[in-house]
Amino acid sequence: PKDVGILALEIIFPSQYVDQTELEEYDGVAAGKYTIGLGQQKMGFCSDREDINSLCLTVVKRLMERHGIAYSEIGHLEVGTETIIDKSKSVKTVLMQLFEPHGVTDIEGIDTTNACYGGTAALFNAISWVESSAWNGRCALVVAGDIAVYAKGPARPTGGAGAVAMLVGPNAPLVFDRGVRGNYFKHAYDFYKPDLTSEYPVVDGKLSIQCYLDALDNCYQLYCKNVAKKLNTKVNLNYFDVMLFHSPYCKLVQKSLARLALNDFIMTPKENRTKQFPGLENFASTSLSNSYFDRDVEKAFLGYSKEFFDRKTKPTLLIASQIGNMYTSSLYGGLVSLLISKDISELAGNKIGLFSYGSGLASSLFSITVTRDCNEASPLYKLVSNLRHVKPFLQQRQKVAPEKFEAALELRQRNCHKAPYEPTGPTDNFFPGTYYLTKIDEGHRRFYDRI
Ligand code: ACO
């Protein structure tokens, strides 16, 4: 099949949020630490009415309804998540409740887990299925979703929640480039979830940032090599019209773009540097491994890449800044942000670079080429038009005071894995079409209703 890529996209997020300025004050930290230091405006969070199953049910049902997709059109379904509520039973099997009434049970794929990377792994599996001998002409559906919550402390403001569903098949408007991915996998204990009774990770913040930047360096260098070999083209930042990153918090994304500029600098022969990087000659002795936390290098390359950032990356951070880290769905929330921020004629023909990172660690840098056809009958136009609701939904959310946010997290913490359990969170503030938890019985079986 030709032009395998994304045919349709849907995103969901909580209908309530806590304001990061108010949270700074409530937490007693310096004003600006979360909003300027981390670059976060608002953080979405879930009450005890929502879990990973309900988020994924909602996003799949909405995708099918909004895009008019028949359940029988799906032949592969895979969920990427690190929000685990059952060590054996997958979220995918829960989603089968939507397909069974239509007589559809012939669907390959299952759940995939490694921190924030699971969504990308699920996506790669979906692409492989469509390109393989197992393909039966139907589409693949990829779901990435998570509830990101941290124990009280410096990591808590980097939480969030949400889910993205992507329909993958041939002749798509967002086409995955073949044979150029750069991957980097390694053993690291930067962020992991060894306590199976808790939703919270064990996280070494500083190490996680270093691992993220190290993974980015390695994936980018390999991607550049692969494109040079395959297409005989030299890659630097100018190769991309848009650069998207997994976003734990927006400031790290801006630093990551600066890091790519540093990579370009290091990969440029010394004699050409003055022309391409005027004023940065002093950094000739900088190496990647000695500069993860070098303030001077960071500042210089942040300045150098600022204009590129404003034009090519900032628009992709809309949802991340308004919701927070959605773990597996964060990168794809970035893609949605891009699609709702740019005019369709500006999007047509774009080359989009995507960097996916999951602690532990797993990472890939890959790319998408947007088709040029953007008239009103085009698949690109249809895909983008079906995301018109996202901005209004972001606006319609309800602001909740930090005290109530803390109480909601405490309630989740106290009742994590409890059975039987009757959730008490309100149901009247959900967006229409939201699935929510009605009860967990004594056998830990979960039941849902839809608003
Ligand atoms: N005004 C403006 N900026 C401020 C202020 C202020 N009043 N106060 C602090 N800052 C800045 C700091 O200077 C710092 O920015 P800088 O590094 O650019 O200088 C930033 O705010 C954060 O402050 P720190 O003191 O570094 O924050 P802390 O160490 O308390 O926590 C951390 C930050 C480590 C990111 C934490 O939130 C965390 O552990 N998060 C989860 C892990 C994570 O997201 N890792 C990323 C990759 S892995 C993944 O995806 C999960």
| Domain boundaries defined on the chain | 5-450
SS3 assignment, position 115: coil
Beta strand pairing call for 5-12 and 160-169: antiparallel
Question: Separation of 248 CA from ligand 1 center, angstroms?
Answer: 10
> Given this model, what pLDDT does residue 295 score?
97
Selecting among 24, 211, 246, 374, the annotated active-site residue is 246
Number of CB atoms found within 10 A of residue 108's CB:
17
CA-CA-CA-CA dihedral for 248, 252, 258, 262, to nearest 10: -80
> Given this model, what pLDDT does residue 448 score?
98
Question: Separation of 199 CA from ligand 1 center, angstroms?
Answer: 21
Bridge partners for 401 per DSSP: none
CA atoms within 13 A on the CB side of 223: 31
Q: Which residue has the tokens 């005989």?
A: 232
Ligand 1 pocket, mutate which of 38, 146, 150 (most atoms under 8 A from CB)? 38
Q: Is 116 a catalytic residue?
A: yes
Residue nearest to atom 9 of ligand 1 (CA): 33
Tell whether residue 255 is among the known ligand binding residues. Answer: yes
> Given this model, what pLDDT does residue 393 score?
97
Residue 397, φ and ψ in degrees, nearest 5: -65, 160
Question: Global pTM?
Answer: 0.98
Beta strand pairing call for 5-12 and 174-176: antiparallel
Tell me the CA distances in angstroms from 64 to 30, 59, 61, 287, 446, one per residue in order.
Answer: 45, 9, 5, 49, 23
Residue nearest to atom 27 of ligand 1 (CA): 154
Q: Ligand 1 atom closest to Cα of 150?
A: 41
Of the given ranges (38-52, 127-141, 254-268, 273-287), which has the lowest mean pLDDT? 273-287
> Given this model, what pLDDT does residue 354 score?
98
Confidence of residue 273 (pLDDT cuts 50, 70, 90): very high
Residue 249, φ and ψ in degrees, nearest 5: -160, 150
Tell whether residue 133 is among the known ligand binding residues. Answer: no
CATH class, domain 5-450, is alpha beta
Rounded CA-CA distance 126/169 in Å is 9
Tell whether residue 208 is among the known ligand binding residues. Answer: yes
DSSP state of 36: I
Confidence of residue 121 (pLDDT cuts 50, 70, 90): very high
Task: Tell me the pLDDT of the chain averaged across its residues.
Answer: 97
**Mean pLDDT computed over 171-197:** 97
First to last CA, the chain: 39
Q: What is the DSSP string of 273-322?
A: HHHHSTT-GGGTT--STT-TT-HHHHHHHHHHHHHHIIIIIGGGGHHHHH
> Given this model, what pLDDT does residue 114 score?
98
- Which percentage of the chain shows pLDDT scores above 90? 99
Residue nearest to atom 20 of ligand 1 (CA): 37
Question: Separation of 37 CA from ligand 1 center, angstroms?
Answer: 6
Q: 353-386: per-residue pLDDT in tens?
A: 999 999 999 999 999 999 999 999 999 999 999 9
Q: 224-242: per-residue pLDDT in tens?
A: 999 999 999 999 999 999 9
Residue nearest to atom 35 of ligand 1 (CA): 205
Rounded CA-CA distance 320/18 in Å is 14
> Given this model, what pLDDT does residue 111 score?
98
Question: Separation of 40 CA from ligand 1 center, angstroms?
Answer: 11
Q: 61-106: per-residue pLDDT in tens?
A: 999 999 999 999 999 999 999 999 999 999 999 999 999 999 999 9
Rounded CA-CA distance 327/385 in Å is 26
Confidence of residue 167 (pLDDT cuts 50, 70, 90): very high
ipTM: 0.98
Residue nearest to atom 12 of ligand 1 (CA): 37
> Given this model, what pLDDT does residue 133 score?
98
Q: Which residues line ligand 1 (CB under 6 A)?
A: 30-33, 36-38, 116, 154-155, 158, 191, 203, 205, 208-209, 212, 248, 251-252, 359
> Given this model, what pLDDT does residue 231 score?
96
Question: Separation of 38 CA from ligand 1 center, angstroms?
Answer: 6
